[in-house]
Amino acid sequence: YDGGHLFPMGVGILLQRATINVLITENSIYQFFHTAIQIGWSWGYDESSSYNHSISFNYIHHIGQYLLSDLAGIYTCGLLNGTLITNNVLHDIYGYFLYDWGVYLADGTSQLMITNTIVYNTGSAAFTMIYGFNNTFQNNILARSSNQSDGALSLYRRESLNHLSFTFQHNIVYDTVNESGRWIFQVQAPDPFSSPLVIMNYNCYFNLYGNMMIFGLGRLVFSEWQETNHDTNSIIDNPLFIDADSQCNFFNLNIVSPAVKELDFKPIQQLSQWKSGC
């Protein structure tokens, strides 16, 4: 913790090329100016030799500290076949002005699964992806993210027409921005032909103020978004976090949560390292 004073872009843990089967687990990483964990490094679809890693049960918080930008709690790039990011908690990721994400899937990130991970209090989107294929986001909580335009989840483009950019299923998005027409899923593709191909379903979306939420390249309201064959079994409903009014507690769910009862969301184990507080 408390790193980056000599070289502000220094990260907590860095895995570059020629790394296989590395386990990063049960760490507390905080007070860095750039990124907590960074893996990959091929910056595209070239051979990365960085496969089958597991990033699990890490507590990552207070990253960026308003000094730098283009950073994240967890930052990936390139082909990461078989890599799993699971059961992590990330919060208070704030850089200088923009580009301060919770989990940042940079250029070429592919074949990655993110599950049972909680991301909250981020300057930009909780999850963002530049381009890549066959990534999976499943059973995660994205909360109180981004007062900026990119919402809770953002994508930029796809590089090939036959690439499935990602699958996003059984997640909870809990938005607390009091702004109508608020982006929840933003696509920043330069044209419709590069718009990412995605599968999204069985998700629970909720805005604390009941404001209209916007999805996709065409700025669609939820019903219009569903007509494009996305989120057809998803709902807009309060996920019923326990003691949610305080906004300072862990995201434990009430047993009658619609996310659990209707969407088969699996409650996430509370990290032993986690400390209460906003």
For 258, the 3-state DSSP assignment is helix
Q: Partners of 40 in the beta sheet?
A: 77
Co-location of 2 and 109 in the same domain? yes
Using the predicted structure, report yes or no on whether residue 169 has a pLDDT greater than 90: yes
- Structural domain includes residue 74: yes
- Structural domain includes residue 151: no
Co-location of 202 and 109 in the same domain? no
Query: What is the pLDDT at residue 247?
Result: 64
For the chain, the domain total comes to 2
- Structural domain includes residue 218: yes
- Structural domain includes residue 217: yes
- Structural domain includes residue 172: no
The residue assigned the tokens 């597991």 is 54
- Structural domain includes residue 258: no
Residue 104 host element (H or E): strand 100-105
- Structural domain includes residue 267: no
CA distance 186 to 176: 17
- Structural domain including 222 reads 191-236
Co-location of 107 and 5 in the same domain? yes
CA distance 181 to 188: 16
Using the predicted structure, report yes or no on whether residue 257 has a pLDDT greater than 90: yes
For 85-99, how does the pLDDT look when each residue is reduced to its tens digit (9 = 90+)?
999 999 999 999 889
Query: What's the whole-model pTM score?
Result: 0.95
